[in-house]
Amino acid sequence: MADRRRINGPVGTTIAPIYDDAPEQKSQVAMATRSRPANVIRKMYLKTGVTPSASGSAYLEIESSGNGGSGLKLSCSVHGPRALPRSTPFSPHIILSTHVKFAPFATKQRRGYLRDPIERDLGTHLEAALRGSIIADRWPKSGVDIIISIVEGEQDREISKAQGIEAWDTMNALSGCITVASAALADAGIDCVDTVAGGVAALVQDAGDDAAPSIVVDPIPAEHEKVLAACCIAYLPTRQEVTNLWFKGDLPASDMDVYTQLVEKGIQASKSANRVLVDCLNETVG
């Protein structure tokens, strides 16, 4: 006799059907286009000292693209420097541990509570970016935890249907993470050689007339037909040094100029973000 106590689901996986709007209607909805000049980043709001219980904290919000999408909202808290547990071996430097987590509801596709590979990868990038800026040998035998939660990911409700856009969004998320973590470290009073900030530049192909690919800073992938390559930079402006570089894309090796320009634009974006960061820190002090 069949088991009547439970109703088993179908064996294979299925996807609930989604009925598209009529195609004519779809073409009428114009794709969002970039309204900013190519070398201007979006407005951002940064505030330090939002979590009283942490030794340093910051909150960053980046303006949304403006057509029903949401901007990036990040909150970072820094715990420490504090003594390491007795069992850990001696370390002549401060031990950084970075933890980046998307809130389960932050993106279109729900994220689990466990960190997935993308989040771990972001954590490693962030660690590399921050380790260059911290003066680590002033705190031997101690550790600091940097915890970032991405409360709301960047996404466009209309367009981010197609594949591959999320991959580019992680770069924007990383640049936000670097900026907010830097503000939180300053708020915690941890000595740094400089304030590090993140910036993204991308080589994009715009829709319509077969325009040549152009380089824009702080790209919103949904606003462009195709992103060919992107680059995320963590930059120390007073030392003029790059602590983290992440380039991804597909460029012929013969035009190294494009690559160099992309890195330069990334640095420029990072400098712009750094201005916001410095203003925010000045406000707190003053």
Tell me: does residue 247 bind another protein (CB under 8 A).
yes
Angle at the Cα of 13 (from 7 to 19), degrees rounded to 5? 105
The smaller minimum CB distance to another protein, of residues 19 and 208, is found at 19
Tell me: does residue 198 bind another protein (CB under 8 A).
no
Determine the Cα–Cα distance for residues 265 and 11; give it in Å rounded to an integer: 51
Q: Judged by CB under 8 A, which of 165, 246, 269, 276 binds another protein?
A: 246
Tell me: does residue 132 bind another protein (CB under 8 A).
yes
Determine the Cα–Cα distance for residues 198 and 234; give it in Å rounded to an integer: 4
Least Å distance between CB 162 and another protein? 6
Tell me: does residue 263 bind another protein (CB under 8 A).
yes
Determine the Cα–Cα distance for residues 82 and 286; give it in Å rounded to an integer: 28
Classify burial at 103, counting beta carbons within 10 Å of its beta carbon; exposed 0-12, middle 13-18, buried 19 or more. Answer: middle
The smaller minimum CB distance to another protein, of residues 40 and 128, is found at 128
Tell me: does residue 93 bind another protein (CB under 8 A).
yes
Amino acid at 172: N
Angle at the Cα of 160 (from 157 to 161), degrees rounded to 5? 105
Interface mask toward another protein for 146-185; x: CB under 8 A? ---------------xxxx--x------------------
- Asked if omega into 81 is within 30° of 0 (cis), the reply is yes
The smaller minimum CB distance to another protein, of residues 151 and 258, is found at 258
Residue whose pair of structure tokens reads 């602590």 in the numeric block = 243
Residues that bind another protein (CB under 8 A): 13, 15, 17-18, 20, 91-93, 115, 117-118, 120-121, 123-125, 127-128, 131-133, 135-137, 161-164, 167, 193-194, 234-236, 239-254, 256, 259-260, 263-264, 267
